[in-house]
Structure 1
């Protein structure tokens, strides 16, 4: 039974599990003193005959905070497969009445979560996908791309809205609200305003907004250089018909001698310097 626990739990085991498997507390202490097990926190151990993987690190950190603790933020996003980036710091949500300081490599947030906002995945309590998405998207090291990807594959926008409403007042709540408003349909129009603001602030001139080219109206154009900037919203809004229409439009502009740069709302909000560098490179090369 003990080996089953270690195999299924990334090499991590609790004292309660060890005792149920037939080990006494003295036997557990002996394994620790002999260097066979590593104590990770109160009543939590790691068998040192295997690599200490990211999964082991997150599991041990969460279990060390008690049975009501849950991985949250980027730690939960990674655990649920919403991002491939392993967080340097494990965020853990514990009940408000919990005590104790955060261990190195962890960040503890005290908040009572509704049962609907917690799931158990691979024997670990984590925040449910909807809450995880809205929190990870505004976490340092996260980003709106997490929300966009999740909306394409895993969750529906109304579920994100409900999770946000249940958890108003949390850290990052205002930023989450802005992302949700953009995802609800305002991203493209806001992106058009944003590209104009970026160009103006960067001192880039020679462009025209809503410029007619043949049968099309280009979002932003540099007529002298024949460079067109086309703005998209969030990827999750795209369907096959819209994708095909955008490519047909882009090909026809190219046949008329225009170079087309495509940017999304995420590009403009997450990587504005890169956007400006690509614009400068395009207009200087033509």
Structure 2
């Protein structure tokens, strides 16, 4: 029973789990003294016969705060395969009345979570997918990419809004609200405003917003250079009819001799330097 527990829990075990598997507290301490088990935190151990992976690190960090602790933010996003790399600092959400200080390598959020916002994934309590996406989206390190990926994989925007509204007042809530708004009906207009801000900040001139061209209106146009910039909001998050109309318009503009550059919200928020570099290259050609 203990071996199976260690195998499925990345080599991490709590004192309560070890005792349930038949070990006494004395037997656990004996393993620690011998060096077979490493003490990660009070009541949390790692069996040192395997690599200490990111899975083990995150599991140990969460379990070190007790049975009610929940992986959240970017830690939950990585655990649920929404992010490619595990965060260096593990975000853990604990109940408001929890005692104890923050441990090294982790960051604590004190908030009571509803049952709808918690799931158990491979034996670890993590925030449910909608809340994970909403919280991770507010983080500046890859947040927009996580939201974009979730929408592409058919996570309903309405479920994200419900998770957001159930957890008002949390860290990053205003930024998450702006991104959810941008992912909805206001996606294009929000992306257009961000594109204009980037152009102004970069000192690029000679452009006109909402420029009429051949019966269409381009988001931003450089008339003298025949370069049109289109802001699409979140990648692929539009209905099929809108997608088709955008492509018809783009083809028509290109037949008129215009070069069309398309940027998503993800491009504008995560890679602004690349966006500006592509625009400069297009208008200097």
With normalisation by structure 1, the TM-score equals 0.92
Aligned-CA RMSD value: 1.9
* Greater than 6 Å deviation, 4+ residue runs: none
Matches within 5 A, 1:132-281: 132-281=132-281
Cα–Cα, structure 1 residues 224 and 140, in superposed 2: closer, same or farther, change >3 Å? closer
C-alpha distance in 1 between matches for 2:184 and 2:250: 26
C-alpha distance in 2 between matches for 1:142 and 1:268: 13
Question: Which stretch of the first structure deviates more once superposed, 151-160 or 232-241?
Answer: 232-241
C-alpha distance in 1 between matches for 2:264 and 2:251: 18
C-alpha distance in 2 between matches for 1:158 and 1:236: 17
**1:271 deviation in Å?**
3.0
Question: Which stretch of the first structure deviates more once superposed, 224-233 or 20-29?
Answer: 20-29
**1:266 deviation in Å?**
2.9
Residues 121-166 of structure 1 deviation map (CA, whole Å, 9 limit, x = unaligned): 1111111111111111112423222122212225212211121111
Cα–Cα, structure 1 residues 154 and 82, in superposed 2: closer, same or farther, change >3 Å? farther
SS at structure 2 position matched to 1:220: strand
Preserved contact between residue 142 and residue 270 of structure 2 (Cα < 8 Å): no
SS at structure 2 position matched to 1:65: coil
Preserved contact between residue 228 and residue 260 of structure 2 (Cα < 8 Å): yes
Question: Which stretch of the first structure deviates more once superposed, 203-212 or 78-87?
Answer: 203-212
Matches within 5 A, 1:31-42: 31-42=31-42
Preserved contact between residue 38 and residue 48 of structure 1 (Cα < 8 Å): yes
Preserved contact between residue 149 and residue 236 of structure 1 (Cα < 8 Å): no
Match of 1:283 in 2: 283
Question: Which stretch of the first structure deviates more once superposed, 179-188 or 231-240?
Answer: 231-240
Q: Which runs of 5+ in 1 are unaligned?
A: none
C-alpha distance in 2 between matches for 1:125 and 1:31: 27
- The alignment covers a number of residue pairs equal to 285
C-alpha distance in 2 between matches for 1:112 and 1:197: 38
Match of 2:95 in 1: 95
**1:223 deviation in Å?**
2.2
**1:193 deviation in Å?**
2.7
Match of 1:108 in 2: 108
Question: Which stretch of the first structure deviates more once superposed, 164-173 or 215-224?
Answer: 215-224
With normalisation by structure 2, the TM-score equals 0.92
Match of 2:59 in 1: 59
C-alpha distance in 1 between matches for 2:73 and 2:110: 13
C-alpha distance in 1 between matches for 2:201 and 2:87: 34
**1:95 deviation in Å?**
1.0
C-alpha distance in 2 between matches for 1:178 and 1:102: 30
